[in-house]
Amino acid sequence: MGSAPRDAFIDWQTRFGVDGAEIVRRLKEAQTDHGTIARSDVRTVAQDLGMPVAAVAGTAAFYADLAVPVRQERHVRMCRGTACFVATGGSADESHLDGDPGGSASVQHVYCLGYCYAAPAAMDGATPVVGRPLIAANAVDRREDVPVIPFRAADSEAVVLAGLTGAARSWQVWPEVVKTTPPEHIRNEVLRAGLRGRGGAGYPIAAKWAAAGAGDPPRYVVANGDEGDPGSYCDRLLMEYDPARVLEGLALAGYAVGAQHAYVLVRSEYPAAVDAMRAAVDEARRAGHLGSGVHGADVDFDVTILVGAGSYVAGEETALLRSVQGLRGGVQARPPYPTARGLAARPTAVNNVETLAAVPWIVQHGGPAYAALGLPEENGTKLVSLNGLFRRPGVYEVEFGTSLRTIVETLGGGVRDGQTLRAVQVGGPLGGFLGSDDLDVPLSAPALAEAGAALGHGGIVAIGDTVRGQELLHHLWTLADAESCGACSPCRVGSRQGLELCSAPDQRLPPERLLQTMERGSLCAFGRGIAGAVRSLLRVYAADFGGTEES
């Protein structure tokens, strides 16, 4: 009797499986038709799909994209990410919107659109618009105002950016691999490379693939394209400009795991990336890279592109898999791990887009060649994203061990004229803040952790002296409160208490016991990371809060 509810839940997952993503599509259709999602829409979708009303209602209430009224005539997404916040001098004022958007368009606030290098940014329908004024009556005619992302390999042969620098073509190794190379060879090369996940957790990829491959089929691989860290846009770069390389890496992962189908979840804030990935899948099928009997081998493999519905925490792997199935993107306790019981309760390997983009190079050049890059204890390269306050913003591929000072001052060229660098945020909202005098730290997860920051997705946001510590603190707590999935009380309640304290007239600081509760009791890295980020902010901006700012 004790196991019945769990077994029933697994049966439900297995029955509806990944087809649960149909929930989101149908709810979005209702939202488009009616402007909002009514209770009757929830009941209709549940009845049509033969699913519990509670499951559909949970999805409708959880995701930001589904919770806002949408006007067919015009829907605008305004970015409130850290880079855009900094670009406006710490202001959330929207007086720069032309006309009355409330009367002519529906407006949604999001926390990153991936245009940090040209902030502030907005998305007018599917059209990106940057700079001030953000929203103009002729926004659809201003595509040329959005610059192309600058990118380059900084100090080594391009690996992840190989397809963008012209060093190699995509789908270069896959056709031969499926005909001549056993799956264990792929796993062994990735093991020898020492490749770790680039989404923030840094888990060894070979170990994850081995665990998923040990389970009974069917197995799945999932690409995490829900790049949510404000300040990071390297995954958008890869999906938009080199989608075939991402797909080839995904195919190699599927081959190594023994999966026949893969899913890519792309955040809804990246409409151009969605289009590029879908077009790349179609092209790959025409070229024979995907489908049944790939390139004449006894290998079946195909890919489905899915679109997120607006959730930061859906980037965490258990929440991501629930999102892929159309469920609430809440975090689940582990174990069981997704490698044992993931998508549709089957063995699943979830990998970040940047991680997958490195796999073709590793297979082509061999694991030891990749392991020779970076540090002995942290192999390879990392993409870092620099925001628009830098003289040379863009995405750079650097080896692990490169100092932050080199990245900030040499690659980024320091901050623009008229600005004075006071701090940098490293690794997004779950990362941390470092003062301008604290940049002699190597790009390394242990070194950054010791300095009070984290690597995360590799976003580096320069912050000038026009932004006060109080404004940054309020911005951080606002994001935490808005994006907590609510699955655990330390994060859910702690984020709300932090926001209430800093919103008080005297802007009270969070007590250490609040941060300790979030750090020790949160179910996933979100609550734990927010606590660490707040501590680092209070340290760097101590003078703004009446203390002595550390150098």
Q: What is the DSSP letter of 376?
A: T
Per-residue pLDDT at 548 exceeds 50: yes
H or E element, residue 103: helix 101-104
- Give the max Cα distance, the chain: 70
125 vs 105: CA distance, rounded Å: 10
Lowest mean pLDDT among 137-141, 143-147, 405-409, 439-443: 137-141
Split at pLDDT 50, 70, 90, the class of 228 is confident
- Tokens, residue 44: 């209709």
Cβ contacts of 240 within 8 Å, gap of 6 or more: 270, 272, 273, 276
Beta strands 75-79 and 106-110: pairing type? parallel
Task: Write out pLDDT tens, residues 359-406.
Answer: 999 999 999 999 999 999 899 999 999 999 999 999 999 999 999 999
Beta strands 302-307 and 261-266: pairing type? parallel
Task: Write out pLDDT tens, residues 249-305.
Answer: 999 999 999 999 999 999 999 999 999 999 999 999 999 999 999 999 999 999 999
Per-residue pLDDT at 13 exceeds 80: no
Please tell me whether residue 381 adopts helix, strand or coil conformation: strand
Per-residue pLDDT at 100 exceeds 50: no
Mean pLDDT of all residues in 5-14? 42
Mean pLDDT of all residues in 208-228? 95
Split at pLDDT 50, 70, 90, the class of 16 is low
Per-residue pLDDT at 160 exceeds 90: yes
Give me the pLDDT at residue 19, please.
Answer: 59
Give me the pLDDT at residue 131, please.
Answer: 78
Per-residue pLDDT at 28 exceeds 60: yes
Burial class of residue 501 in the structure, from the number of CB atoms within 10 Å of its CB (0-12 exposed, 13-18 middle, 19+ buried): middle
Task: Write out pLDDT tens, residues 460-509.
Answer: 999 999 999 999 999 999 999 998 888 899 999 999 999 999 999 887 89
Reported pTM = 0.91
DSSP states along 141-208:
G-GGGSPPPPEEESSS--STTHHHHTSS-TTSSHHHHHHH--HHHHHHHHHHHT-B-SSSS--BHHHH
239 vs 246: CA distance, rounded Å: 7
- Cα 327 vs. chain centroid, distance in angstroms? 18
Split at pLDDT 50, 70, 90, the class of 86 is very high
Split at pLDDT 50, 70, 90, the class of 202 is confident
Q: Evaluate whether 22 touches 271 at the Cβ level (below 8 Å).
A: no
32 vs 72: CA distance, rounded Å: 6
Count the residues in the chain: 551
Lowest mean pLDDT among 146-155, 156-165, 425-434, 500-509: 146-155
Per-residue pLDDT at 159 exceeds 90: yes
Task: Write out pLDDT tens, residues 462-472.
Answer: 999 999 999 99
Lowest mean pLDDT among 19-28, 145-154, 189-198: 145-154
DSSP states along 448-466:
HHHHT---TT-EEEEEETT
Lowest mean pLDDT among 156-160, 194-198, 253-257, 303-307: 156-160
Mean pLDDT over all residues of the chain? Answer: 88
- Quote the percentage of the chain above a pLDDT of 70: 89
Give me the pLDDT at residue 9, please.
Answer: 38
Mean pLDDT of all residues in 296-320? 92
Q: Looking at this protein, which amino acid is placed at residue 440? A: D
Greater pLDDT, 503 or 153: 503
Q: Looking at this protein, which amino acid is placed at residue 449? A: A
Cβ contacts of 189 within 8 Å, gap of 6 or more: 362, 363, 366, 367
Q: Which residue shows structure tokens 């990362």?
A: 431
Sign of the alpha-carbon torsion through 323, 324, 327, 330: negative
Q: In what order do the strands lie in the sheet with 348-352?
A: 302-307, 261-266, 220-225, 348-352
User: b/e string for 178-216 if b means 16 or more Cβ within 10 A?
Assistant: beebebeebbebbbbbbbbbbbbbeeebbebbbbbbebe
Give me the pLDDT at residue 143, please.
Answer: 42
Per-residue pLDDT at 356 exceeds 90: yes
Q: Evaluate whether 427 touches 198 at the Cβ level (below 8 Å).
A: no
Split at pLDDT 50, 70, 90, the class of 447 is very high
Give me the pLDDT at residue 382, please.
Answer: 96
